[in-house]
Amino acid sequence: MITPEDAEFHPSGTARMWTETNYFGFDIPAVPAHVGLYALFRPNLGTVNSAVFVNSRKVEASWEVDFWDSRAYLPLPESGSLLDYRLDNGLAVRCLEPNKVWELRYDNGESLQVDVRFEALMEPFDIHDPDMDPRAKAAGRGDLSAGGAYAGHFDMTGAVTGHVVLNGARHEVDALSTMDHSWGVREERQLGTMTWLQCHFSRELALHAMFDFDPTIGPDRPFEAHLTHGYVLDGGKALGLKEGSARMTRKGMYSDTLELHLVDAHDREYRVRGVAQTRAPIQYWPGSMAFMVMPRWEMGDLVGYGTSTDFLDLYHFTRLYNN
């Protein structure tokens, strides 16, 4: 069970690689663009890894996106708190109500300014709580979320309002978002895989799912992904997913078309199809590469947006390209 105290740093003991992360990413469908605000804290090393980016195109390299700022050795914030901090790269986060409301700001003093507010539409979804997640005890060997890096983890869908100024152009933001917070011992090598995916249809209806997949399936080949955790947000309440699968076609290593079949704890089925509108490689932390796309989702007559991100460790690539 997630409590308000879990919005803050957790006791880290003496583990050198103890890590806490926060991700706040949101879409601007009219562009279409995705804005990512990520921070990975290693309190026992005194460092923060942060990635801030904006992408509206289909690109092959991170330096081709609209905006990219990646730092590996920022100092820990002077506040010593996840509830109110500012990093030296210009990212500032203030939690007004634990696990419910955050103010998110970023300013590099030149080409990108972000000023938005995230307001939760649900309670935090604890992937380790069997009362909330029917798959809490079903993690497989390839499931990244089963490792020590996700000893604690929650996801939460919310509404994001405010504005972004990119290269002088102002974009109003009134969007949906799924954030997450993880804590645990996160080594630099992580041999599991994960697809982290959201379909946002309205403030009343959204889907969030995590999958694992076979990392030996290479570029331009279709692949199947298998549900590890997830929920449907329905009218302000999240209901866990108990079964699910995804089938993706790829262009290179990027998902291009995505077909989801999900079943919630009440046996309701959801069939969703997505087509990627953007794509970019995002390196959230050294040692891993994530292939992010922003699909346009359709479920019956409903249309939504949200990202799908496939995480692989760099270790996996030697097997992909040397066989």
In this predicted structure, the answer to whether residue 246 has a pLDDT above a threshold of 90 is yes
Whether residue 215 is preceded by a cis peptide bond, meaning omega within 30 degrees of 0, is: no
Kindly report, residue by residue over 48-84, the tens digit of the pLDDT: 999 999 999 999 999 999 999 999 999 999 999 999 9
What's the mean pLDDT in 114-125?
Answer: 98
Output DSSP code: residue 276.
E
pTM value is 0.95
Mean pLDDT in the chain? 95
Reply yes or no on whether the pLDDT at 89 is more than 80: yes
Q: What pLDDT sits at residue 50?
A: 98
pLDDT value at 141 more than 60: no
Q: Helix (H, G, I), strand (E, B), or coil: what is residue 201?
A: coil
CA distances from 126 to 103, 241, 307 (A): 23, 12, 20
Residue 139, pLDDT above cutoff 70? no
CA 221 to chain centre: 24
CA distance 126 to 2: 6
pLDDT value of position 112? 98
Query: Residue 140 — very low, low, confident or very high, per pLDDT cuts 50/70/90?
Result: low
Please say if the pLDDT value at position 198 is more than 60: yes
CA angle 227, 228, 229 (to 5 degrees): 100
Percentage of the chain beyond pLDDT 90 is: 89
Task: Confirm if 89 and 70 have CB atoms less than 8 A apart.
Answer: no
- Report domain extents, the chain: 19-321
Radius of gyration (C-alpha) of the chain in whole angstroms: 18
Give the pLDDT mean for 302-308.
98
Residue 145, pLDDT > 80, answer no
- Estimate to the nearest angstrom the gap between the alpha carbon of 320 and the chain centroid: 24
Please give the pLDDT value at position 286. Answer: 86
Looking at per-residue pLDDT, the higher value among 201 and 147 belongs to: 201
Residue type, 19: T
Q: How confident is the model at residue 142 (pLDDT cuts 50, 70, 90)?
A: low
Q: Which residues contact 322 (CB under 8 A, 6 or more apart)?
A: none
35/59 Cα distance (integer angstroms): 15
pLDDT band at 189 (very low <50, low <70, confident <90, very high): confident
Tokens at 53, concatenated: 């980016």
pLDDT digits (tens, 9 = 90+) for 94-113: 999 999 999 999 999 999 99
Q: What is the pLDDT of residue 323?
A: 63
Quote the CA–CA distance of 213 and 217 in Å, as a whole number. 9
Q: Work out the average pLDDT over 24-51.
A: 96
The total number of residues written for the chain in this structure: 323
Left if phi > 0, otherwise alpha if psi is -120 to 50, otherwise beta: which for 230? left
The 10s digit of each residue's pLDDT in 247-293 is 999 999 999 999 999 999 999 999 999 999 999 999 998 888 999 99
